[in-house]
Amino acid sequence: MTLDVEVVLFDGFDELDAIGPFEVFAAAASEADLAVRLVTLEPTDRVVASHGLRIEPDGVLGEPDLLVVPGGGWSSPDGGVRRVVDEGTLAEAVAALAADGTAVASVCTGALVLAEAGLLEGRPATTHHTATDDLAAYAEVVDARVVDGGEVVTAGGVTSGIDLALWLLEREFGAELAEAGARRLEHERRGEVVRPSADG
């Protein structure tokens, strides 16, 4: 059975938050039974990221096994994640997918979308260091690169999205595939993954 992964994009998302995990999953797809797509909530020809990168998405959000929500723009009043959280539509879609069994992961301030969706209430989670005070209103903030709460996984700032994706590869397909992915990227994995459910 193929693991279907979707990375949801929106105007103002941080480039590396999304493209880091996408590259990890896309490269691993030749060795593991998985597929990854870049999607948007509504049909669009182009999404413009926070630093100006323009991306043509693969389609609209479906019903993936794993959904990755990037961050970007939380510190700006009209920035990407800030705007998305204020609008609420993406959070509603994330909540509905989670209720139907989709595993949800966030990178950086994408955790605030998960919080708005009601997925982090009272749970350990992490985000970019500039947003920890905001996240603390919803979750138990943990100083970690990756916090694995089972069906909800959060990662810290920007480059931690690569560690998130490598961890999810390890969790789903084994350590050998994850280590091969890290070598391919010449990426040194950082920090222990915090797994509150496993630690009891």
Residue 127 has pLDDT above 50, yes or no: yes
pLDDT given at position 184 = 95
- Give the mean model confidence (pLDDT) for residues 158-183: 97
pLDDT given at position 75 = 86
**Banded model confidence at residue 79, pLDDT cuts 50, 70, 90:** confident
**Banded model confidence at residue 198, pLDDT cuts 50, 70, 90:** low
Residue 93 has pLDDT above 70, yes or no: yes
- Give the mean model confidence (pLDDT) for residues 30-38: 96
What does pTM read for this prediction?
Answer: 0.96
pLDDT given at position 147 = 98
Average pLDDT of the chain, as a whole number: 95
- Give the mean model confidence (pLDDT) for residues 117-131: 96
The residues annotated as belonging to the active site are 108
CB 9 within 8 A of CB 70: yes
Residue 187 has pLDDT above 70, yes or no: yes
3-184: which CATH topology?
Answer: Rossmann fold (3.40.50)
Residue 1 has pLDDT above 90, yes or no: no
